[in-house]
Structure 1
Amino acid sequence: MEIRELRAFVVVAEEGGVSAAARRLHLSQSALSQVVQSLERQLGVQLLTRSHSGTTPTPAGELLVRRARAILADHDKAVAELSALGDSGSVVAGSIRVGVPLELPLDVLPSALAELRAAHPATQVEVRHASSAGQVAALENGELDLALVRYRPVGDRFDAMLVVREPIGVLLDARHSESLAKPSGVPLDRLAGMNWLAFPRSDAPPWYDEVAAILRTHGLVDQVSAAGGDPPVTAEVKFAAVRAGRSFTLAPPGWATTLPEGIRWHPIEGNPIVRRTWAIWPATSRQRDLATLVAAFQLPNGGG
Structure 2
Amino acid sequence: MTSALERELGVDLLIRSSTGVRPTEAGRTLLVEARAVLARYERAVSALSRHTEPGGSLLRLGIPLELPEDLLVGPLARVGERFPETRVRARHLSTAAQFAALRTGDLDVALVREHPIGGGLDASLIVAEPLGVLVTDEMAGRVAGPAGVRLERLVGVHWVGFPRTASPAWYDEVTAILRSHGLDLGPPAPEGQELIPEVKFTAVLSGRAFALAPPHWSAPLPPGVTWLPLLERPLVRRTWAVWPAESRRRDLGALVAALEDAYGGHNDGEEPGGKG
Q: Which has the higher contact order (CA 8 A, sep 6+)?
A: 2
Equivalent residues in 2 for 1:26-45 (5 A)? none
Higher helix share: 1
Asked whether 1:158 is paired with 2:121, we answer yes
Contact (CA 8 Å) 1:238, 1:249: kept in 2 or not? yes
Contact (CA 8 Å) 2:158, 2:208: kept in 1 or not? yes
Q: For residue 188 of structure 1, what is the amino acid of its counterpart?
A: L
Contact (CA 8 Å) 1:255, 1:265: kept in 2 or not? no
Q: Select which of 204, 226, 245 maps to 1:264.
A: 226
Contact (CA 8 Å) 1:97, 1:145: kept in 2 or not? yes
Q: For residue 56 of structure 2, what is the amino acid of its counterpart?
A: A
Contact (CA 8 Å) 2:55, 2:86: kept in 1 or not? no
* Greater mean alpha carbon deviation, residues 147-156 or residues 249-258: 249-258
Change (3 A) 1:88 1:209: closer
Change (3 A) 1:256 1:265: farther
Query: Which 4+ runs in 1 deviate beyond 3 A?
Result: 85-89, 225-230
Q: Please give the TM-score of this superposition, normalised by the length of structure 2.
A: 0.75
Q: For residue 138 of structure 2, what is the amino acid of its counterpart?
A: R
Q: How far did residue 229 of structure 1 move?
A: 4.8
Asked whether 1:283 is paired with 2:209, we answer no
Q: Select which of 249, 253, 260 maps to 2:211.
A: 249
In structure 2, what is the Cα distance between the partners aligned to 1:88 and 1:135? 24
Q: Select which of 184, 192, 202 maps to 1:230.
A: 192
Contact (CA 8 Å) 1:227, 1:237: kept in 2 or not? no
Q: Select which of 132, 144, 150 maps to 1:187.
A: 150
Q: How far did residue 220 of structure 1 move?
A: 1.0
Q: Select which of 172, 177, 181 maps to 2:135.
A: 172
> 1:191-243 deviations in whole A, cap 9, x for unaligned?
1111110012111111111010110111112x424556531122111111111
Query: Residue 125 of structure 2: SS of its match in structure 1?
Result: strand
| Aligned positions, number | 223
Q: Select which of 244, 251, 255 maps to 1:293.
A: 255
List gaps (5 residues or longer) in structure 1.
1-77
Contact (CA 8 Å) 1:101, 1:130: kept in 2 or not? yes
In structure 2, what is the Cα distance between the partners aligned to 1:276 and 1:96? 23
Q: How far did residue 189 of structure 1 move?
A: 0.4
Equivalent residues in 2 for 1:17-28 (5 A)? none
CA RMSD of aligned residues (A): 2.5
Q: Percent identity?
A: 47
Change (3 A) 1:278 1:194: same
In structure 2, what is the Cα distance between the partners aligned to 1:121 and 1:256? 28
Q: Select which of 167, 178, 181 maps to 1:215.
A: 178
Residue matched to 2:17? none
In structure 2, what is the Cα distance between the partners aligned to 1:291 and 1:203? 27
Query: Residue 266 of structure 2: SS of its match in structure 1?
Result: coil
Residue matched to 1:274? 236
Query: Residue 182 of structure 1: SS of its match in structure 2?
Result: coil
Query: Residue 253 of structure 1: SS of its match in structure 2?
Result: coil
Q: For residue 211 of structure 1, what is the amino acid of its counterpart?
A: V
Q: Please give the TM-score of this superposition, normalised by the length of structure 1.
A: 0.68
List gaps (5 residues or longer) in structure 2.
1-41, 268-276
Q: For residue 204 of structure 1, what is the amino acid of its counterpart?
A: S
In structure 2, what is the Cα distance between the partners aligned to 1:227 and 1:190? 23
In structure 1, what is the Cα distance between the partners aligned to 2:182 and 2:156? 9
Residue matched to 1:132? 95
Q: How far did residue 148 of structure 1 move?
A: 0.3
